[in-house]
Amino acid sequence: MANISDRYTCRVTWSAEDQEYIGLCAEFPSLSWLEHDPEKALAGIRKLVKATTGDLASNKEPVPEPISLRSFSGKVLVRVPPETHRMLAIQAAESGVSLNHLIASKLA
């Protein structure tokens, strides 16, 4: 079975500032790993996350739950100005769909 550190959301992107690839982890926004090779950047951030979760656990500090293991309700509350709400309601009515359906399709 895989280690829990393998369940974190890691990605690699180009850093124009550093002129290298940067490995990032969504659950640990303060961590990053720079490399000239994208695969090495990914391997580096994963190694750093594994070390960090190990340190947190050994110090009895809370370890963030990976996003991949969290359950989501599918409900999102978004506040918009009243005029935006009105405009969306009109668009939904004119399209013959619910406001929820219209907004969900715009977000997809």
Between CA 14 and CA 25 the distance in angstroms is 14
For residue 42, CA distances in Å to 32, 35, 39, 81, 101 come to 10, 9, 5, 40, 37
The tens digit of pLDDT for each residue in 49-72 reads 999 999 999 999 999 999 999 999
From-to residues of CATH 3.30.160 in the chain? 4-68
CB count within 10 Å of CB 27 equals 19
pTM: 0.76
The tens digit of pLDDT for each residue in 2-59 reads 677 789 999 999 999 999 999 999 999 999 999 999 999 999 999 999 999 999 999 9
Between CA 81 and CA 14 the distance in angstroms is 36
What's the CATH number of domain 4-68, 3.30.160, 1.10.3470, 3.20.14, 1.10.260?
A: 3.30.160
